[in-house]
Amino acid sequence: MKIYLVSLMLLGSASFAFSQTTQSKKSAYPLPVTFTAGQDHANMMQQLGIKTLRPGPSGNESAPNHANYDEALANPCPQLPELLTTKSGKKVTTPEQWWQQRRPEIVEEFEREVYGRLPKNIPKVTWKVEITDREWVGFIPVIAKKVVGHVDNSDYSLIDVNINMMVVLPANVKGPVPVLMMFGRPSFPAPAQPSPEQMELINSALKELLIKEHPELKAIFDQYPAYSPFTRATPSFGPSAGEPSPTQQLLAAGWGYATIDPGSIQADNGAGLTRGIIGLVNKGQPRQPDDWGTLRAWGAARGLDYLETDPMVDAKRVGIEGVSRYGKAALVTLAFEPRFALGLIGSSGKGGTTLHRRVFGEAVESLTGSGEYHWMAGNYLKYGAEEATFGRKTGCDLSVDSHQLIALTAPRPTFISYGIPEKGDARWLDQQGSYMATVAAGPVFRLLGAKDLGVSGSYQTEKMPPYNTDLLDGNLAWRQHDGGHTDAPNFTYFIPWANRELGYQVQR
C-alpha cells in the first residue's frame, strides 16, 4: 500500500512538473495580437508613414465615384516596366541572362513591393491520410483521399494550423496521372455507402436507441413499420443536361484533381494576419511591410509536397487552377513555385493578370483599402497613398507589373481565362488589361524557346480578340469564353491543350 501511495505521489509530482514546464514554455511566448482588419490596416499605414489613402472606386457604375470604363483614360502611364532589360540597362538576349540576372531582379521587386517575401523559417508540414474511400463519379471509379497537413508549431504552440486537402484520382487509368490542384472547400465527391443489408442493421439499432431515449417514438415507428431513418442515396451518373463539371471532365480525361482549403492555412481577411500560417511564423505579431500576404500564404506548394509522395500522382505534371481571388493566388503560385507544371488562371483581375497601372474598373486603390489589402505585402499600400512621408504614389510608380508576373511562369504552359461582362464576368476585372499583359509577356516565352500567343506582340495596339476565339497554339494561351465569372466553360479547351503541352496520353 505504501509503495502504491509513493508511486501515486511520484506520478503526481512528475505530472505537475510537466504541466509547470508546459505552462512556463507557453508563458514565454508573446500572446497573439488580436486586431480587427481596420486596426491591422492602420498599423501597417503607421509603419509605412502613410497619412491618407485614396479611396477605391465604386463597382456601381451609377455611383458618383464609379470606376473608370473609358479606354481613353485607362492608360495614364502606357509604357510598361522593362521586361528584358536589367536594372543596369543591359539588354537580355539569352536564356542564361534571364535566369541568372533579369528574373531574380523581377522576383525581388515583386516580393518586396507587391506580394511579400516567404519567411526563411517556414515550418515543416507533416501530412497524414485520414480517410481513403473508393467511390464513383458518374461512371468513373475513383479513389478519394482526405489528407491533413499539420504545420509544425513547436516554436509557437499558441497557434495551430492544419491544412485540409482532398485528392481524387481515377481508378480506371494506369498511373501515375497528372493532377490539377484547385482552391476551395474539400469534400468527398460521392461517399461510399453501406449495402442495403448493412443499412437495415444500422436502422434497427438506431430505432432501438431512439425508442430507449424517447419512448413516445415507439408509437410512430409502430404506425410506420416500413419507415427507416436512414436510406441509401440514389447514385448519380452525371448531370442530366448540359456539360459535365470541370472535375468530371478531368477524371474522364485520365486526370486527378486536388482541392486545397486556403482558409485552413490563412484566413481571407486582415484580422487573421496574426493567426494562421502568417501569424504562426510571426509568433502572433503584426506583419512587417515586406512580409508575405495571403496570396503567397495559401499553401499550394505545401499541398504539392504531399502529392510528390503519392505513387498514383505524376508529380511532374501537377497544375494549379483558380478563379477570381483564387485566380490571383494560382498565378502567384505558378510564378514563384517552379515545381508546378502549368496553370489555368481564371478571371483574376487586379493583383492577378490585369495591369496594375491601368485605371479601368478595379484599381490599385481597391486593393490598398482595408478590405483586400491582406492579399498583398504591406508595402503595396504605398501605391494608394495620397499623403505620406514619402509623398504621393500611384500604380504608375510600381517598378513591376503583371506582364512580368506572367513572364515568371515561362516557359511553363499558362492558360489565361476570362468570361464576358454580359454574363457576369464584370468589366471591373478589366479583361483588356489582362490581354495587354499577356501579350507583353510573350517575349520571355519566345526567349526561352516557347511559343506565345502568336500575335503581333505590341501590347499597346493589339486588339483583344472576340470572345470564343481560341489563342491556344502556344505555351501561353488566351481564351475569353461566353460565360460568367468562372473558368468552367474553358475546361473543354484547357484539357486537350494541357495534354498536348505536357505530352500526356491516358493509358487505360
Dump pLDDT digits (tens) for 377-431. Answer: 999 999 999 999 999 999 999 999 999 999 999 999 999 999 999 999 999 999 9
Q: What is the mean pLDDT of residues 180-197?
A: 86
**Does the residue 425 lie in any domain?**
yes
The residues pairing with 168 across neighbouring beta strands, listed in sequence order, are 144, 257
Q: What is the mean pLDDT of residues 356-379?
A: 97
The CATH number for 259's domain is: 3.40.50.1820
The answer on 416 and 395 residing in a single domain is: yes
The answer on 200 and 334 residing in a single domain is: no
Percent of the chain's residues with pLDDT above 70: 92
- H helices of 322-420, in order, are 325-336, 364-368, 402-407
- Is residue 237's pLDDT more than 70? no
Q: What is the mean pLDDT of residues 336-354?
A: 98
For residues 492 and 490, what is the distance between their CA atoms, to the nearest angstrom?
Answer: 5
The answer on 258 and 206 residing in a single domain is: no
For residue 259, how many C-alpha atoms fall within 13 Å in the half-sphere facing its CB? 13
Tell how far CA 397 is from the center of its chain. Answer: 27
The answer on 350 and 205 residing in a single domain is: no
Domain boundary among 232, 260, 291: 232
pLDDT the model gives residue 194: 78
The answer on 362 and 318 residing in a single domain is: yes
Coil, strand or helix: which one is 331?
helix
Locus of grid cell 427507416: 228
pLDDT the model gives residue 3: 39
The DSSP secondary-structure symbol of 146 reads E
Choice among 62-66, 125-129, 428-432 with the minimum mean pLDDT: 62-66
What length does the chain have? 508
pLDDT the model gives residue 198: 79
Percent of the chain's residues with pLDDT above 90: 82
Q: How many domains does the chain have?
A: 2
The answer on 314 and 298 residing in a single domain is: yes
pLDDT the model gives residue 21: 41
Nearest to 508 by CA among 125, 177, 22, 26: 177
Render 434-493 in DSSP notation, one character per residue. HHHHHHHHHHHHHHTT-----S---TTTPPPPPTT--B-SSSEEEEE-SSSS-SGGGHHH
The DSSP secondary-structure symbol of 152 reads P
Grid coordinates representing 148?
491533413
pLDDT the model gives residue 462: 94
pLDDT the model gives residue 90: 98
**Does the residue 63 lie in any domain?**
no
Q: What is the mean pLDDT of residues 77-98?
A: 98
The answer on 171 and 89 residing in a single domain is: yes
For residues 334 and 476, what is the distance between their CA atoms, to the nearest angstrom?
Answer: 13
**Does the residue 314 lie in any domain?**
yes
How big is the chain by its Cα radius of gyration, in Å?
Answer: 27
pLDDT the model gives residue 19: 42
Locus of grid cell 468530371: 248
Grid coordinates representing 24?
512556463
The answer on 171 and 135 residing in a single domain is: yes
Q: What is the mean pLDDT of residues 205-230?
A: 86
pLDDT tens readout for residues 434-449: 999 999 999 999 999 9
For residues 350 and 324, what is the distance between their CA atoms, to the nearest angstrom?
Answer: 9
pLDDT the model gives residue 61: 87
Nearest to 255 by CA among 2, 465, 502, 480: 502
A 10 A CB-CB count for 508 gives: 7
Nearest to 402 by CA among 455, 355, 454: 355
- Please enumerate in sequence order all residues whose Cβ is within 8 A of that of 463, keeping only pairs 6 or more positions apart, or say none: none
The answer on 341 and 213 residing in a single domain is: no
pLDDT tens readout for residues 246-262: 999 999 999 999 999 99
The answer on 463 and 316 residing in a single domain is: yes
pLDDT the model gives residue 42: 98
pLDDT the model gives residue 175: 83
pLDDT tens readout for residues 254-304: 999 999 999 999 999 999 999 999 999 999 999 999 999 999 999 999 999
pLDDT tens readout for residues 111-123: 999 999 999 989 9
pLDDT the model gives residue 229: 85
DSSP run (H or E) holding 257: strand 256-260
Q: What is the mean pLDDT of residues 33-55?
A: 98
**Does the residue 287 lie in any domain?**
yes
pLDDT the model gives residue 26: 56
- Please enumerate in sequence order all residues whose Cβ is within 8 A of that of 331, keeping only pairs 6 or more positions apart, or say none: 322, 343, 345, 348, 352, 353, 405, 406, 409
For residues 486 and 118, what is the distance between their CA atoms, to the nearest angstrom?
Answer: 29
Query: What are the Cα distances from residue 284, in Å, to 41, 118, 277, 388?
Result: 16, 16, 10, 28
- Is residue 345's pLDDT more than 60? yes
Q: Which comes out higher in pLDDT, residue 216 or 161? A: 161
For residues 238 and 138, what is the distance between their CA atoms, to the nearest angstrom?
Answer: 5
Q: What is the mean pLDDT of residues 354-363?
A: 98
pLDDT the model gives residue 14: 40
Q: What is the mean pLDDT of residues 191-220?
A: 83
Q: What is the mean pLDDT of residues 340-356?
A: 98
The answer on 198 and 186 residing in a single domain is: no
Q: What is the mean pLDDT of residues 47-73?
A: 95
The answer on 351 and 222 residing in a single domain is: no
**Per residue in 127-149, is it b (16+ CB within 10 Å) or e — as a string?**
beeeeeeebebbebebebbbbbb
- Please enumerate in sequence order all residues whose Cβ is within 8 A of that of 10, keeping only pairs 6 or more positions apart, or say none: none
- The confidence band for 11, taking pLDDT boundaries of 50, 70 and 90, is very low
pLDDT the model gives residue 234: 55
For residues 277 and 275, what is the distance between their CA atoms, to the nearest angstrom?
Answer: 7
**Does the residue 23 lie in any domain?**
no
**Does the residue 128 lie in any domain?**
yes
- Is residue 232's pLDDT more than 70? no
Choice among 123-137, 236-250, 296-310 with the minimum mean pLDDT: 236-250
**Does the residue 241 lie in any domain?**
no
Grid coordinates representing 458?
505590341
Choice among 76-90, 178-192, 221-235, 335-349 with the minimum mean pLDDT: 221-235
Q: Which comes out higher in pLDDT, residue 138 or 53? A: 53
Which residue range is the domain that position 371 belongs to?
73-190+246-502
pLDDT the model gives residue 170: 98
- Please enumerate in sequence order all residues whose Cβ is within 8 A of that of 91, keeping only pairs 6 or more positions apart, or say none: 84, 85
**Does the residue 300 lie in any domain?**
yes
Return mean pLDDT, the chain: 92
Q: What is the mean pLDDT of residues 139-163?
A: 97
